Amino acid sequence: MAAKTFGYGSVLVVTTTTGDANIAQLRNISGPGVTASDVDTTTMDSSTNYRTFVAGLLDSGEVSATMVYSTTAVTHKRLAYYMGQRSVKGFKLYHGSTAGTEQTFSAYIKGLGREIPMDDVITADLTLKVTGKPGYST
Protein backbone atom coordinates (compact mmCIF):
# COMPACT_ATOMS: atom_id res chain seq x y z
CA MET A 1 0.00 0.00 0.00
CA ALA A 2 1.29 3.46 -0.87
CA ALA A 3 2.42 5.69 1.97
CA LYS A 4 0.18 8.58 2.90
CA THR A 5 1.73 11.99 3.53
CA PHE A 6 0.53 14.30 6.27
CA GLY A 7 0.42 17.96 5.19
CA TYR A 8 1.87 19.25 8.44
CA GLY A 9 5.50 20.23 7.93
CA SER A 10 5.14 20.90 4.20
CA VAL A 11 7.43 23.64 2.97
CA LEU A 12 7.22 26.09 0.06
CA VAL A 13 10.63 27.46 -0.86
CA VAL A 14 11.62 30.39 -3.07
CA THR A 15 15.07 30.50 -4.64
CA THR A 16 16.78 33.82 -3.98
CA THR A 17 20.14 35.26 -4.96
CA THR A 18 21.49 34.08 -1.59
CA GLY A 19 19.99 30.57 -1.69
CA ASP A 20 16.71 28.86 -0.92
CA ALA A 21 14.38 30.47 1.63
CA ASN A 22 11.35 28.81 3.24
CA ILE A 23 8.25 30.98 2.93
CA ALA A 24 7.32 31.63 6.55
CA GLN A 25 4.13 30.84 8.45
CA LEU A 26 2.12 28.92 5.86
CA ARG A 27 -1.34 27.66 6.73
CA ASN A 28 -2.16 25.84 3.50
CA ILE A 29 -0.88 25.29 -0.02
CA SER A 30 -2.74 24.17 -3.14
CA GLY A 31 -1.58 23.39 -6.65
CA PRO A 32 -0.11 23.32 -9.10
CA GLY A 33 -2.74 21.62 -11.21
CA VAL A 34 -1.92 20.88 -14.83
CA THR A 35 -4.74 21.20 -17.37
CA ALA A 36 -4.93 20.78 -21.13
CA SER A 37 -6.71 23.16 -23.45
CA ASP A 38 -9.40 21.78 -25.75
CA VAL A 39 -8.79 22.01 -29.49
CA ASP A 40 -12.01 21.67 -31.49
CA THR A 41 -11.52 19.34 -34.47
CA THR A 42 -15.16 19.28 -35.60
CA THR A 43 -15.73 19.75 -39.33
CA MET A 44 -18.85 20.40 -41.35
CA ASP A 45 -18.69 16.89 -42.78
CA SER A 46 -18.30 15.10 -39.42
CA SER A 47 -20.28 11.86 -39.22
CA THR A 48 -22.35 12.99 -36.20
CA ASN A 49 -23.62 16.28 -34.85
CA TYR A 50 -21.23 16.05 -31.89
CA ARG A 51 -18.10 18.13 -31.55
CA THR A 52 -14.76 16.34 -31.49
CA PHE A 53 -11.64 17.45 -29.67
CA VAL A 54 -7.95 16.73 -29.13
CA ALA A 55 -5.86 17.84 -26.18
CA GLY A 56 -4.03 21.09 -26.79
CA LEU A 57 -1.20 22.76 -24.94
CA LEU A 58 -0.73 22.07 -21.25
CA ASP A 59 -1.02 24.81 -18.63
CA SER A 60 0.75 24.18 -15.31
CA GLY A 61 -1.80 26.30 -13.48
CA GLU A 62 -1.26 28.15 -10.24
CA VAL A 63 -0.07 27.56 -6.73
CA SER A 64 -1.91 29.34 -3.94
CA ALA A 65 -0.98 29.59 -0.30
CA THR A 66 -2.30 31.32 2.78
CA MET A 67 0.27 32.73 5.19
CA VAL A 68 -0.07 34.21 8.65
CA TYR A 69 1.15 37.66 7.65
CA SER A 70 4.19 39.12 9.36
CA THR A 71 5.68 42.55 8.78
CA THR A 72 9.05 41.17 9.90
CA ALA A 73 9.16 37.92 7.87
CA VAL A 74 11.92 38.39 5.29
CA THR A 75 10.27 36.04 2.79
CA HIS A 76 6.98 37.98 2.96
CA LYS A 77 8.89 41.16 2.09
CA ARG A 78 10.76 39.37 -0.71
CA LEU A 79 7.54 38.09 -2.26
CA ALA A 80 6.14 41.64 -2.39
CA TYR A 81 9.42 42.83 -3.95
CA TYR A 82 9.41 40.03 -6.54
CA MET A 83 5.83 40.87 -7.46
CA GLY A 84 6.78 44.51 -8.02
CA GLN A 85 9.73 43.42 -10.14
CA ARG A 86 7.54 40.97 -12.09
CA SER A 87 10.30 38.41 -11.60
CA VAL A 88 10.06 34.73 -12.50
CA LYS A 89 11.57 32.80 -9.60
CA GLY A 90 12.34 29.18 -8.85
CA PHE A 91 10.17 27.45 -6.24
CA LYS A 92 10.25 24.07 -4.51
CA LEU A 93 7.38 22.37 -2.74
CA TYR A 94 8.17 19.67 -0.18
CA HIS A 95 5.26 17.50 0.94
CA GLY A 96 5.33 16.73 4.64
CA SER A 97 8.87 17.99 5.27
CA THR A 98 12.04 18.87 3.38
CA ALA A 99 12.69 15.11 3.28
CA GLY A 100 9.36 14.49 1.50
CA THR A 101 8.41 14.58 -2.16
CA GLU A 102 9.82 17.58 -3.96
CA GLN A 103 8.14 19.46 -6.77
CA THR A 104 10.04 22.21 -8.54
CA PHE A 105 8.62 24.93 -10.75
CA SER A 106 9.20 28.44 -12.04
CA ALA A 107 6.55 31.06 -11.35
CA TYR A 108 5.82 34.72 -10.98
CA ILE A 109 3.79 36.27 -8.17
CA LYS A 110 0.36 36.85 -9.67
CA GLY A 111 -1.37 37.95 -6.51
CA LEU A 112 -0.53 38.96 -2.97
CA GLY A 113 -3.35 40.27 -0.80
CA ARG A 114 -4.19 40.50 2.88
CA GLU A 115 -7.22 39.69 4.95
CA ILE A 116 -7.54 41.67 8.17
CA PRO A 117 -10.31 40.18 10.34
CA MET A 118 -11.50 41.80 13.53
CA ASP A 119 -10.90 38.78 15.77
CA ASP A 120 -8.21 36.65 14.13
CA VAL A 121 -4.69 36.90 12.75
CA ILE A 122 -3.94 38.88 9.62
CA THR A 123 -3.32 36.54 6.70
CA ALA A 124 -1.88 37.01 3.24
CA ASP A 125 -3.04 35.08 0.19
CA LEU A 126 -0.27 34.31 -2.28
CA THR A 127 -0.95 33.27 -5.88
CA LEU A 128 1.89 32.01 -8.07
CA LYS A 129 1.43 31.52 -11.83
CA VAL A 130 3.50 28.54 -12.88
CA THR A 131 5.35 29.01 -16.16
CA GLY A 132 6.67 26.05 -18.11
CA LYS A 133 6.72 22.41 -17.06
CA PRO A 134 6.88 21.63 -13.33
CA GLY A 135 9.35 18.99 -12.18
CA TYR A 136 8.69 16.09 -9.84
CA SER A 137 10.99 13.93 -7.78
CA THR A 138 10.55 11.53 -4.88
Digit-coded pLDDT (tens) for 62-83: 999 999 998 899 999 999 999 9
Element containing residue 128 per DSSP (H, E): strand 123-137
Gap between the Cα atoms of 19 and 16, Å rounded: 5
Which residue, 21, 3, 100, is CA-closest to 12?
21
Gap between the Cα atoms of 5 and 95, Å rounded: 7
Q: What is the pLDDT of residues 122-132, one digit of tens each?
A: 999 999 999 99
Residue extents of the structural domains in the chain: 11-33+60-137
Note the pTM of the prediction, 2 decimals: 0.86
CATH class of 11-33+60-137: mainly beta
- According to the model, what pLDDT value does residue 69 have? 92
Q: Please report how many Cα atoms fall inside a 13 Å half-sphere around the Cα of residue 105, on the Cβ side.
A: 24
CB 56 within 8 A of CB 129: no
